[in-house]
Amino acid sequence: MSASIHALIPAAGCSVRFGGTTLKQYAHLLGSPVIAHSIDAVSRHPAVGAVTVALAPDDGIFDELVRPHYPAVRTVTGGASRARSVMNGLAAILDHDAACEWVLVHDAARPCLRAATLRRLVDAGLASAQGAILAVPVHDTLKRADAAGRIESTVDRTCYWAAQTPQLFRIRELAVNLDAALAAGESPTDEAAAMERAGAHPLLVMGDRGNIKITGPEDLALAQFILQQQSLDG
């Protein structure tokens, strides 16, 4: 595969919902920090030639726990939001590698990405003019609530999908569109939202319900189980 893909992992968040004193990207998972599993996952694809991680300005943990095992991974200072961290990462990638065509953005706290799922995304995304994201159809019944926390209505879930990462886009198009969103005072919660704002319609690629995002401490046990099952499945 000749495409030039650079993986970008925003990891500058403060893990407010995770609780405790340990940032979720550095939580212990099967002998390694969560983020190490995420780096491994995106690095498995042969078209991914480099990985950049966006870190908080005061991050003193990555160099201690992660960098010794991943000396080739580049780092950049992130921002106050995911969108700003991604923007900083995109700028750093383009400064370092002007020939880069595609960027694959993946959550630091999504360690259970399967190689087959990543291949499916990359194959579909490279063939799409507007990029692609992993997502899964919403199966739960959705309720719209009022301001008092009462059910207002039941939402038709037929056309709803839950977005995952990675998300794959042409790097310059994403940089332009994300920069425009930030300049307008917006802070997209994923990269697809920045592309949608500009009129793009990224492709939805079937994800994997095991590709969970670690949000609370209870998710670590589930992630451990998923990774152990993946190792048994080969």
pLDDT in tens, 180-219: 999 999 999 999 999 999 999 999 999 999 999 999 999 9
- Average pLDDT over all residues of the chain: 94
Q: What's the DSSP call for residue 8?
A: E
Q: What is the pLDDT of residue 4?
A: 86
Q: What is the pLDDT of residue 3?
A: 65
Q: How far apart are CA 22 and CA 107, in angstroms?
A: 17
State the CB neighbour count (10 A cutoff) for residue 185: 6
Q: How far apart are CA 219 and CA 212, in angstroms?
A: 8
Domains assigned to the chain: 5-233 (3.90.550.10)
The answer to whether 118 and 234 are in contact (CB under 8 A) is no
**What's at 187, amino acid-wise?**
S
- Single pTM value for the model: 0.94
Name the least confident of 17-26, 45-54, 215-224.
17-26
Q: How far apart are CA 163 and CA 86, in angstroms?
A: 17
Q: What CA–CA distances, in Å, run from 111 to 51, 72, 156, 208, 219?
A: 15, 19, 31, 12, 11
Q: How far apart are CA 12 and CA 85, in angstroms?
A: 7
Residue 230 CB-density burial (10 A; 0-12 exposed, 13-18 middle, 19+ buried): middle
Given a cut of 70, whether residue 20 has pLDDT beyond it is no
State the CB neighbour count (10 A cutoff) for residue 153: 10
Q: What is the mean pLDDT of residues 2-25?
A: 78
Given a cut of 70, whether residue 15 has pLDDT beyond it is no
Given a cut of 90, whether residue 21 has pLDDT beyond it is no
Given a cut of 70, whether residue 18 has pLDDT beyond it is no
Token pair for 233: 């499945």
Q: How far apart are CA 113 and CA 106, in angstroms?
A: 10
Q: What is the largest CA-CA distance in the chain?
A: 54
Name the least confident of 18-27, 69-78, 163-172, 204-213.
18-27
Q: What is the pLDDT of residue 124?
A: 97
Q: What's the DSSP call for residue 97?
A: -
What is the percent of the chain where pLDDT is above 90?
Answer: 91
pLDDT tens digits for 31-43? 999 999 999 999 9
Q: What is the pLDDT of residue 19?
A: 54
Q: What is the pLDDT of residue 1?
A: 43
Token pair for 130: 């507007």
Given a cut of 80, whether residue 82 has pLDDT beyond it is yes
Q: What is the mean pLDDT of residues 128-147?
A: 96
Unique residue bearing structure tokens 């039941």: 154
Unique residue bearing structure tokens 């995770």: 18
